[in-house]
Amino acid sequence: MTQSKEMIATRVAYGKELLELGKKNPNIVVLDADLSGSTQTKFFAKEFPERFFNMGIAEQNMIGVAAGLSSTGKIPFASSFAMFACGRAWEFVRNAVCHNMFNVKVCATHAGLTVGEDGGSHQIVEDIAIMRVIPNLTVIIPADATEAKLATRAIAEFFGPVYMRLGRSNVPVLFDENEYDFKIGKAYIIKGGIDVSIFACGIMVSKALLAQEALQSEGISAEVVNISTIKPIDKETILSSVKRTGCAVTCEEHNVIGGLGDAVSSVLSESCPVPVKKIGIMDQFGQSGKSDELLVHYGLTKEKIAEAAKEVIKLKS
C-alpha cells in the first residue's frame, strides 16, 4: 500500500456521505449543536432543512432528542465536537441511547490533539475510554476519508447505537473505495509482517504505515493492523497477527489509559500474553499548537512507533 498525496479530513468525508445517504433514505435525520459548519453536517442541513435539527449549544438535549426521534423510526445522526458529544453528554449517551438500545449514531468530530489551536479544553483524549465501556455501544474510528465514508454508510444500515470518532485535520487518503469492503467489527491487516504487530486506529494508521516502511529499511518486518472498530474488537485478527509476530505496538491519538492500547492489551493478556508498548498521549492534557507540531510534541510519530517496535522485539522471549 502506498500513501496517496491526497489529504482529506475524516469529518469532510462524513459530511459528504451524510448528504448522499439523506438523498437515499428519508428516515435519516441529523442533529447538531451549533457546530454544523465544523462537523460538516451543514451540507445535509442545506439540502434537507426539514430533517435537520440545530439544538443550539445543548448537547445533552441533542442526544435525548435524538433518542426520541429514533423511537419514531428515524435514524438520527447527532454531531458535535467529541469533547461535548462524549464528555458533556456522556450520561445521555449512556442512559437515553444505549440503556434503551435506541438506533442513534453519535458522530463526533474534532477528536484528539489534532483539533490544534483550540487547545486542551477542546482536545478530548479520553473519548475512546469513556465510550467503549458503555454496553450496547459500537465504537468506530475511521483511519481516512475512504473509511469514514464507508463507515458512515455502514452505520446507517446497522441497527444499534454507534459512536464514530472523526478528526478535524486533513489526513492522507489510504484506501481505495473500490478495493475496500468495510465491515463493522472487522480489523484489517493492511501490511503483512512477521516481526512485530502494529495495531493502530484513526489518524495513527498512516503514521504506523510510515513506521513500517522505516522498519523495513532496517530489515524489520512489521505487520500493520487497522483497528477501525474498537468495539466489538476483532479478537480473532488481533490474536492471529500476534501469534505470528509475538509482540505488539499500539498507536492512538488518545490517552494511553483506556483506549485502543488497553483494548488490545486486554485481548492479548487473556489469550496470548506478549510484550506490548503503547504509543499515545501519556496521561496529559493537550495544548494549543498546529496539529503536526502537537503530534510531534506528544510523541505520536513514525519514529516513536518504530522505536517502540524495536523495543518490543527485544522483549520477546
Partner 1 sequence: MSLSEEKLTELKEITKDLRRSILKMTHAAASGHPGGSLSAVEILTVLYFSILKYDPQNPNWQERDRMIISKGHSTPLVYSILAKAGYYRGDDLLTFRQLGSPYQGHIDRLKVPGIETSTGSLGHGTSFAVGAALGCRMDKLNNRIYLLQSDGELQEGSTWEAIMSASHYNLGNLTAILDRNRIQLDGWTEETMTLEPIAKRFEAFGWHVLEVDGHDMNQIHDAILKTHEIGPRENKPCIIIAHTVKGKGVSFMEDNVKWHGVAPNDEELKMALREIE
> Which residues are at the interface with partner 1 (CB under 8 A)?
29, 50-51, 53, 55-56, 58, 60-61, 63-74, 76, 91-92, 95-96, 99-101
Q: Which of 282, 272, 273 is nearest to 304 (CA)?
A: 282
Angle between helices 10-24 and 145-157 (to 10 degrees): 40
**Residue 31 or 143 with smaller CB distance to partner 1:** 31
Instruction: Mark whether 307 is an active-site residue.
Output: no
Question: Which residues, listed in sequence order, are joined to residue 164 by a DSSP beta bridge?
Answer: 107, 140
User: Which one, 87 or 299, has the nearer CB to partner 1?
Assistant: 87
CA distance 194 to 302: 19
Closest separation in Å from C-beta 97 to partner 1: 10
Ramachandran bin of 230, using left for φ above 0, alpha for ψ from -120 to 50, beta for the remaining angles: alpha
CB 79, min distance to partner 1, A: 15
Q: Which is nearer to partner 1, 99 or 191 (CB)?
A: 99
How far apart (Å, rounded) are the C-alpha atoms in residues 88 and 78?
14
Question: Which grid coordinates belong to 171?
Answer: 489526513
11, three cell numbers: 469529518
Considering beta carbons, is residue 98 or 108 the nearer one to partner 1?
Answer: 98
Query: Cβ of residue 76: shortest distance to partner 1, in angstroms?
Result: 8
- Rounded CA-CA distance 215/3 in Å is 16
Q: Least distance in Å: CB of 314 to partner 1?
A: 49
Cell 485478527, residue located: 237
Q: Give the shortest CB-87-to-partner 1 separation in angstroms.
A: 14
Q: Nearest 5°: phi and psi at 75?
A: -115, 95
Evaluate whether 111 touches 82 at the Cβ level (below 8 Å).
Answer: yes
Catalytic residue among 17, 47, 59, 126: 59
Q: Is 170 left (phi over 0), alpha (psi -120 to 50) or beta?
A: beta
Minimum distance of partner 1 from residue 34's CB (angstroms): 12
Q: Which is nearer to partner 1, 75 or 295 (CB)?
A: 75
- Of residues 94 and 302, the one with the C-beta less far from partner 1: 94
Handedness of CA 273, 190, 256, 221 (dihedral sign): positive
At residue 81, the 3 state secondary structure works out as strand
Dig out the grid coordinates for 37 from the structure: 459548519
* Residues taking part in catalysis: 59
